[in-house]
C-alpha cells in the first residue's frame, strides 16, 4: 500500500464513523478493529520492503509534498499501530461494561488520532507536520475530555490551552524558517539550516524546543500533564503514554538530528531530560492518585529517553529506542490493567492496589513494574542496559550514576504498590478481568517477556531506526526528491 493511502485510510474511517454508527455498534467497533488491524499488518509488511519508501502527491519534492518512511519512522509506525490494535480491542470491553457511553464520539477521534500520529511521523515537510501536530492535538483534547465530568472537562480545557501555546511557538518557528530559507521541505531546511544567521537560528531552535518540548512533556513545561492523565479514561491514558507523547518525541529528535544541531544543544537536552527524570520520580513518590502516579512515571521515563536520545551515538540511541518500545508496551499494559481495576473498585486512590484480589492482575502488574524498572529477564532490562552501555562507551559516568540513583527512587513507589498487592491483610474484592482483557494483557505481558529473552528480535529494528535517525542521508535524498 502506498504511504498516502496508508495515511488516508484512518482519515476515511474516521469520517465514515457516523455512518457506521447508524449500522449498529457492532459495525462501529468492528470497523475500528479492522482499521487498526489493517494498519498494523501493513506496517509489518513495510518491514520487508526496501527503506526508505516515498509517496509523492502530484508534484515531485522538494516543491510538492511527500511522505517518507525510513527506519526511524518504521519503528514508531509499528509501535503506534500495535497500540491502536490493543486499544481498539480493549474498547470492546470498555463499551460492554459502560453501555451508555457515546461510542461514535470516541471512535471518530481515536481513528483521527491514529491518522494524525501516522502523518506526523511520515510527513517530510514542516508545514504538514504542523497540521498533523494540530490534528493529534485536537483529538487529544477531545479524547481527554471524554469523561464529561469536572475532571474530564478540566483536563480537556487545560490541554487545549497548553496545546495552543505550543502551536503558537511552532507556527512562529516555521514562519521564521520560511522567511530565512524560503522553503518548508525538511530536506531543504536540513541542508541550508546552517546558512541562517546564528541569532535567528537560536530563536528557531528554541521555539521548536518549547513547542515540541511542551507537548513531549519536558520538565518546566510539563505541569499540565498529570492533570490530563487524571481526567481521562485509562485507555486514553495508555494512548497518551504510548502513542501521543512518543509521536511528539519522534518529531523532536527527528528535527534535532536533521538540523544537525551542535553538541551544546545536545548537552542542554540531556540536562533537561535528566531534570525531568529526577523531578518526576521524586514527585511520583508523593502521589495518592494512581493515574497521576503513572503519569509521573511516564514523564520520568520520557526524561531517560530524552537523556539517551540526545547522545548522538548509535549504540545509546538504539538502546533508547529499545527502551521506548518496551516502555510503550509496559505502560499500555499498566494503564489497561489499571482501567479494569478502577472500573471494579470505583476509585482512583492508590489504596485500590491493596483492595483487589486477582492473581492474574497481580502478575500482570508485577511484570509491568519490573519491566519499567529494568529488571531482567523483562524487556526493560535490555533497553536500560543498552542505554547504560552507550553512556559507558562515551565515558559519561555521571549519567550512569544519575540514572541508577534515581531508579532507586522509582523502585520505592513501584514496589510499594507491589507490596500492597501482595499484602494479605485487609478485605479484598475479587476482580474479574474478562475474556478479551485476559487475552490482551497476556499478549502484552508475553511481548515483554519475549523481548526480554530474545531482544535480537527487536534490536534489528532499533538499530535500523538509530542509524536512520543519526545519519539521515538516505532520508534527505528522498525528501529532496533526488533520483525519483
Partner 1 sequence: MNSIFLLLNILPILFLYQFGGDLHVSFSLTKDFTLSLIQTPLGTFFAYLSLISFLLVTVSQKSKKLSCNYYALQLLLSFAMLIIVLAGDFITFFIGWEIMTWSSYFIISKSNNIDIKSLQKYILFSLASAFSLIAAIVISYSFANSFDFATISASFKSMPFDIQLTLIILFSLSFFTKAGVIGLHYWVVDTYSKAPDLFSSILSAVMSKMGIYGLFLIYGNIVGYQELKIMFGTILNGTDFGYTLAWIGVATSIIATFKAITQDEVKRLLAYSSIAQLGYIIAVIGFGTTYGVAGALYHTLIHTIIKLLLFINVAAIIAQTGKNRFSELGGLIYRTPVSFVMLLIGIIGLAGMPPLGGFASKFMMYNAAINTKFALILIGMLFSGAASFLYCYKLVYGIYLGHPTSKGLETQKEVPLSYLIPQIILALLLVLTGAFPGAFVKVINPILTQFSLKALPYDGVGIMDSAVGNFNGLFIMSAFVAFFVLILLLISRIKSKAKNNINRFDISYCGEVPSKDTSLHYGFGFGTELHRIKFVNAILKRSTATFYDALALQTKRSSELLSRMYYGNIHNTMIIILLFFSALFFIGVNS
Q: In the complex, which residues of this chain contact partner 1 (CB under 8 A)? A: 158, 161-162, 165, 169, 199, 202-203, 205-207, 209-210, 214, 220-221, 223-224, 226-227, 279, 282-283, 285-287, 366, 370, 373, 375-377, 381-382, 385-386, 388-389, 391-393, 395, 397, 400-401, 404-405, 407-409, 411-412, 415-416, 419-420, 422-424, 454-456, 459
The residues, ordered by sequence, that sit 6+ positions from 400 with a Cβ below 8 Å of its Cβ are: 388, 391, 392
CA 307 to chain centre: 16
Minimum CB distance to partner 1, residue 315 (Å): 8
Long-range contacts of 4-10 (CB under 8 A, 24+ apart): 4/55, 4/57, 4/67, 6/39, 6/42, 6/118, 6/122, 7/67, 7/115, 7/118, 7/119, 7/122, 8/115, 9/35, 9/38, 9/39, 9/115, 10/35, 10/39, 10/111, 10/112, 10/114, 10/115, 10/118
Minimum CB distance to partner 1, residue 19 (Å): 37
C-beta closer to partner 1: residue 22 or 424: 424
C-beta closer to partner 1: residue 19 or 454: 454
C-beta closer to partner 1: residue 121 or 293: 293
The residues, ordered by sequence, that sit 6+ positions from 142 with a Cβ below 8 Å of its Cβ are: 105, 109, 156
My answer on whether omega of the bond before 62 falls inside 30° of 0, hence cis, is yes
C-beta closer to partner 1: residue 48 or 456: 456
Minimum CB distance to partner 1, residue 15 (Å): 32
Minimum CB distance to partner 1, residue 383 (Å): 12
CA geometry: angle 301, 246, 347, nearest 5 deg: 65
Burial class (CB in 10 A: 0-12, 13-18, 19+), 1: middle
Closest CA relative to residue 388, chosen from 375, 380, 397, 376? 397
C-beta closer to partner 1: residue 45 or 161: 161
Q: At what angle do helices 359-373 and 314-345 cross, to 10 degrees?
A: 150
Kindly report the number of other CB atoms within 10 A of residue 231's CB atom.
25
C-beta closer to partner 1: residue 158 or 327: 158
C-beta closer to partner 1: residue 37 or 265: 265
Minimum CB distance to partner 1, residue 100 (Å): 29
C-beta closer to partner 1: residue 98 or 394: 394
Amino acid at each position: 500500500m502506498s504511504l498516502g493511502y496508508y495515511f488516508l485510510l484512518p482519515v476515511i474511517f474516521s469520517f465514515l464513523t457516523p455512518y457506521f454508527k447508524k449500522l449498529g455498534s457492532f459495525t462501529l467497533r468492528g470497523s475500528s478493529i479492522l482499521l487498526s488491524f489493517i494498519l498494523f499488518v501493513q506496517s509489518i509488511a513495510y518491514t520487508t520492503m526496501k527503506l526508505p519508501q516515498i509517496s509523492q502527491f502530484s508534484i515531485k519534492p522538494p516543491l510538492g509534498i511527500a511522505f517518507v518512511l525510513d527506519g526511524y519512522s518504521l519503528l514508531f509506525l509499528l509501535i503506534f499501530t500495535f497500540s491502536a490494535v490493543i486499544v481498539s480491542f480493549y474498547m470492546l470491553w470498555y463499551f460492554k461494561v459502560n453501555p451508555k457511553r457515546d461510542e461514535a464520539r470516541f471512535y471518530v477521534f481515536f481513528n483521527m488520532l491514529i491518522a494524525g500520529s501516522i502523518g506526523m511521523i511520515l510527513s517530510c515537510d514542516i508545514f504538514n507536520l504542523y497540521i498533523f501536530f494540530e490534528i493529534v492535538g485536537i483529538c487529544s483534547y477531545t479524547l481527554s475530555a471524554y469523561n464529561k465530568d469536572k475532571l474530564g472537562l478540566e483536563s480537556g480545557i487545560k490541554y487545549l490551552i497548553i496545546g495552543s501555546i505550543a502551536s503558537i511557538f511552532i507556527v512562529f518557528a516555521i514562519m521564521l524558517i520560511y522567511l530565512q530559507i524560503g522553503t518548508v521541505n525538511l530536506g531543504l531546511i536540513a541542508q541550508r539550516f546552517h546558512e541562517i544567521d546564528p541569532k535567528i537560528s537560536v530563536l528557531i531552535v528554541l521555539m521548536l524546543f518549547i513547542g515540541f518540548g511542551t507537548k513531549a512533556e519536558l520538565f518546566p513545561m510539563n505541569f499540565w500533564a498529570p492533570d490530563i492523565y487524571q481526567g481521562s479514561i485509562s485507555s486514553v491514558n495508555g494512548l497518551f503514554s504510548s502513542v501521543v507523547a512518543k509521536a511528539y518525541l519522534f518529531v523532536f529528535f527527528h528535527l534535532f538530528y536533521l538540523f544537525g544541531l551542535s553538541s551544546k544543544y545536545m548537552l542542554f537536552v540531556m540536562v533537561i531530560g535528566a531534570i525531568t527524570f529526577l523531578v518526576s520520580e521524586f514527585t511520583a513518590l508523593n502521589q495518592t492518585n494512581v493515574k497521576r502516579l503513572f503519569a509521573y512515571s511516564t514523564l520520568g521515563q520520557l526524561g531517560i529517553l530524552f537523556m539517551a536520545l540526545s547522545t548522538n551515538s548509535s549504540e545509546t540511541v538504539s538502546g533508547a529506542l529499545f527502551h521506548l518500545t518496551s516502555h510503550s508496551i509496559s505502560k499500555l499494559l499498566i494503564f489497561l490493567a489499571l482501567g479494569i481495576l478502577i472500573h471494579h473498585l470505583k476509585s482512583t486512590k492508590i489504596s485500590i492496589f491493596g483492595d483487589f484480589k486477582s492473581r492474574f492482575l497481580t502478575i500482570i502488574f508485577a511484570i509491568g513494574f519490573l519491566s519499567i524498572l529494568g529488571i531482567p529477564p523483562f524487556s526493560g532490562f535490555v533497553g536500560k542496559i543498552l542505554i547504560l552501555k552507550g553512556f559507558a562507551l562515551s565515558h559519561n559516568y555521571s549519567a550512569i550514576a544519575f540514572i541508577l540513583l534515581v531508579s532507586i527512587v522509582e523502585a520505592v513507589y513501584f514496589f510499594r504498590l507491589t507490596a500492597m498487592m501482595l499484602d494479605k491483610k485487609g478485605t479484598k474484592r475479587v476482580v474479574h478481568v474478562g475474556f478479551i482483557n485476559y487475552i490482551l494483557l497476556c499478549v502484552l505481558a508475553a511481548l515483554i517477556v519475549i523481548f526480554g529473552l530474545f531482544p535480537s528480535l527487536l534490536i534489528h529494528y532499533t538499530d535500523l531506526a538509530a542509524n536512520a535517525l543519526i545519519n539521515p542521508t538516505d532520508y534527505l535524498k528522498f525528501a529532496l526528491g533526488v533520483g525519483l
